[in-house]
Each structure stands twice: as C-alpha cells, then as structure tokens.
Structure 1
Amino acid sequence: MTQSLNVSTLPQFAQLTIQGEDAEKFLQGQLTCDVTKLGLSYQAAALSNLKGRIEFGIWIKKQAEKHFDVVISADCAESFQAHVKKFGAFSKFETSAPIAIYPCVLADEPTFSHKDDHNTPADTQAWMQCSIENGNYWIVAATQSQFQPQELRLHQRGGMDYDKGCYLGQEVIARIYFKAAPKAFLHYVKGSGDVPAAGDKLDKIQVVNAVATAEGFEALVVARPAHLDDSELTLLELPPALQADVARPQ
C-alpha cells in the first residue's frame, strides 16, 4: 500500500492542437524530434531554449495531415502557447486553447486519455508509477530550463534526431553529443522518507519526478554515478534501452 494520495499535488496535463499549412514546418524548427516521422502514438520530445536546456517537455503525435496534438504539464501550457504564438507569428497555422487530458496506463504503457473515467487519482498514481519505472519523465514549471535532453536520455527514447537540421538549442545539444557526454544523467532510484518534489536536490542529486511508495518513494533523478554510490538511495533498473551509455556510440 502506498502513502495516502494528496490529490492537490498530483500532476495535471493539458493538450493543445497545432494545425494548418505550416504546422509541420514550424514544429520541425522548434522540437528535438523529427516531426516528419511522427505517427499516431505519442512521442516524447522537447522544445529547448538557446542554451540547449529543456524549456518544455512534451508528448506529440500526428493526428492527421497538418494536424498535431501536443500534451504538456498543465502548469506549462499557457507559457508554451505563448511561445508558439510568438515564434509562429508569421507562419500559417492555428493553436487551440489548452484542454484537460488525463494520464493513465493502457496496455502496460503510460499514455493519456480524454475520457472522464480516467480522470481519477488512482489513474494518475498508476501513470506516475509506470512512467517512473519506464523513464518517462515529465517536465513541470519547477524544472523548466534545468536539464539537457541527453541528460534525460531523450535520445534513447526516439525524442531527438541529430540529422534533421536546425531547431532551437540545436547547436549546444549537438556539441554535447558529438564532442562530449553528460557527466550526470537519468537514473531510477528508490529511497526512504518524504517524497521529494520535482526539482529538489538531495545533496548533489537532482530530482526530476518522484512518486510515493509503501517504503518511501521511487524517483527519476539526474546524477553522476559516483554521487549515487555515496548516497543512501538504491539504484533500480530502467528498461534495457535506457541502460545504455548516454554518450554517442563510437
């Protein structure tokens, strides 16, 4: 049995629709993923700032020709909408107002649904647990501009494309990928005590997301391996695809 749910602290998400003649071209110049390769399933991606850090963590799918649905943490939705309107002011597309969408687990995968029967604390708790186990981090307002995509293993989840051409933050992100490697990167851990909040630091270890368990909490954190070795946290295994070295294969 997990700790009692605090409904007010559970994550909430919103969906925006971007559609029109220039929608794909615009998104291709903004996002880390290759928008031309998107399908009907949600793909994790990021919109970074000019320093190569994630400003908006999103999930995106191509709903139809020139029609894209974007899911984002609800506390980032308005600023994301403002960003799109600012940078897309001279492009031909429309952006909808944010509407609620609900996290849930379907076929053992974390996903989202508009159905009201998934708008429950139990569904959200299950999504959080499944997401953390699978490295499916979510960026909230408190963690905007905190992490580089490679630190969060986004390239190992298909959310980054190094051959697609220019996008916001691409120069910094590419330099890290081709000339260096993050010293701190995403890990899945468990710990005891109170559940830390997104963005909290446990000494030199930064929390991305955390969920309560019967013994304490489980979390996705960004840390150097040596700092984890020196901590009281227990390292757990991410899926095989996310266990690989974060550095570029030689």
Structure 2
Amino acid sequence: MGHVSIPQFQQISIVGADAEKFLQGQLTCDVTKLGLNYQAAAICNLKGRIEFGIWIKKQAEQHFDVVISADCTDSLLAHLKKFGAFSKFDTSAPIFIYPCVLADEPTFSHDDTHNTEQDTQSWMQCSIATGNYWIVAATQGEFQPQELRLHQRGGMDYDKGCYLGQEVIARIYFKSAPKAFLHYVQGEDVLPSAGDKLDKIQVVNAIATDHDFEALVVARPEHLADSALTTLDLPAALQADVARAK
C-alpha cells in the first residue's frame, strides 16, 4: 500500500514500409483496422500476459502512433529494437503526451494546456469508471488480456493470425475462460498501488476519492463478494461474460 503517483504517458511513432506487418505480428488487435482514434491494445509475452498496455492509432499510411505509460517506454523501445531488427521501420524518440477527458471519453492530447494535475485526475477517474485500465511497470506481465476485458473494448482479434502470446490467449478463449477478471470497485481503506494484492484481489489501478478510493481490480466474483469492497457498474459492454459466446 502507498501513495499512488500521478501517471505520465509518452508517445512514440513507428513509421516505415514494414510498420503495419511488424505490428500485426506483435499486437493483440487487428492493425489493418486501425483508424485515427486511439484503440486500446496490448503486446503480450509468450505466456499470454500483457507486457505492454498501449493505445494505438494509424496516423497515416505506414505511420502508427503508440501511447504508453512513461515508466514502460524504455522497455518497449528495447522490445521493438529486438523484435524489429530485420523489419523496415523507424521508431521516433518518445515525447510526452497528456491524459485528458474529451467528449466524456478518456484520451490523450499534445496540447500543453492539458498538462495539469486536474486533467490527469479527471482522466484517471473517467478511465477507472469506464474500464480504461493502464499498465505500469509494476503490473507488466501480471494480467492476461481477457482478464482485463480487452476483447470487449475492441483491443483483441481472434481471427487475425499469429502474434506474441497468441497460442496461450486463444487456448483460454476457445477452451476455458478466466476465473478472475476486471471489476470496478469502491473501497474504504488505505489507497492501494497498482499491482497490490488485497487478499486474493489484485489492483490494476486506483484513485483517491471522497469514499476513500475507487479502483479497477482483477478478482473472482466470489472473492469480491467476500471482501469489504463495493462493486460498481462498468459500462454495459464490459458487463458481459468474459467467456466466449457459445
């Protein structure tokens, strides 16, 4: 438990003849369907767990902009260099980008006027209420994308072919279902940090509120029911069963 630091985010651009093909073999989403709006997505490790939680948009032909928590930027750049060594693309130097809420949606802006604690707090509050989790260094490799309901937000494609961790992810999707998954909760205890475990409940993100704290957590429903946390409603699209529709 401890003080939750204000998140910072950076953007890198991936540009070049092989950019789309390379990203298609890395990301959980279908890169060919990306547009100008930020899409939540992930790069997983071979165990099918999210190593990099990102937002990505297609800025132009063979030009993709990726936003990531600033404490994960260096490891993402190292990953791209390692896996993209034989692919034709360039990666820009990271620049800071600012979280904000526009049209009731959590998003990002290069406009320096959004570089305020109030804008960031609003983004955190809106993100937690809408299931827009953010992966930080402390939670890299902790969660499977289905556990975080990424498939219910358009961030996973089960028909696109191979990508990092795809075999494990597909096996979970087609043969079983996560027993623990994302919930939006309210608590009346010390503000937890990302990655903290509250007994059998793992914190993804948390923010201080008038009610002590609100958080996104990954938990089994029965463990939540046995806890002192109050479960709040996520948006309708994220209230569906995390298992594959039969």
User: TM-score, normalised on structure 1?
Assistant: 0.97
Identical counterparts, % of pairs? 80
Q: How many residues align?
A: 245
Instruction: Tell me the equivalent position of 1:119.
Output: 115
Unaligned residue ranges in structure 2 (runs of 5+) = none
Whether the 8 Å CA contact 1:187–1:221 is kept in 2: the answer is yes
Does residue 166 (structure 1) correspond to residue 188 (structure 2)? The answer is no
**Of the candidates 189, 196, 207, which is equivalent to residue 192 of structure 2?**
196
Q: Secondary structure at the match of 1:78?
A: helix
Q: Please state how far the C-alpha of 1:215 moved relative to its aligned partner.
A: 1.5
Does residue 212 (structure 1) correspond to residue 222 (structure 2)? The answer is no
CA deviation profile, 1:18-61 (whole Å, cap 9, x unmatched):
00000000000000000000000000000000000000000000
- Kindly report the root-mean-square deviation, in angstroms, between the aligned alpha carbons of the 2 structures: 1.1
Whether the 8 Å CA contact 1:45–1:57 is kept in 2: the answer is yes
Q: 1:155 to 1:184 in 2, by over 3 A?
A: same
1:123 partner letter: D
Report the Cα distance in structure 2 between the residues aligned to 1:207 and 1:134, rounded to whole angstroms. Answer: 16
Instruction: Tell me the equivalent position of 1:3.
Output: none
Q: 1:46 to 1:27 in 2, by over 3 A?
A: same
Q: 1:174 to 1:131 in 2, by over 3 A?
A: same
Instruction: Tell me the equivalent position of 2:81.
Output: 85
**Of the candidates 33, 40, 54, which is equivalent to residue 44 of structure 1?**
40
Report the Cα distance in structure 2 between the residues aligned to 1:170 and 1:39, rounded to whole angstroms. Answer: 23
Q: Please state how far the C-alpha of 1:130 moved relative to its aligned partner.
A: 0.2
Report the Cα distance in structure 2 between the residues aligned to 1:95 and 1:116, rounded to whole angstroms. Answer: 23
CA deviation profile, 1:124-166 (whole Å, cap 9, x unmatched):
0000000000000000000000000000000000000000000
Report the Cα distance in structure 2 between the residues aligned to 1:7 and 1:120, rounded to whole angstroms. Answer: 19
Q: Please state how far the C-alpha of 1:193 moved relative to its aligned partner.
A: 2.2
Whether the 8 Å CA contact 1:32–1:167 is kept in 2: the answer is yes
Q: Please state how far the C-alpha of 1:7 moved relative to its aligned partner.
A: 10
Whether the 8 Å CA contact 2:48–2:164 is kept in 1: the answer is yes
Whether the 8 Å CA contact 1:78–1:98 is kept in 2: the answer is no
**Of the candidates 140, 145, 151, which is equivalent to residue 149 of structure 1?**
145
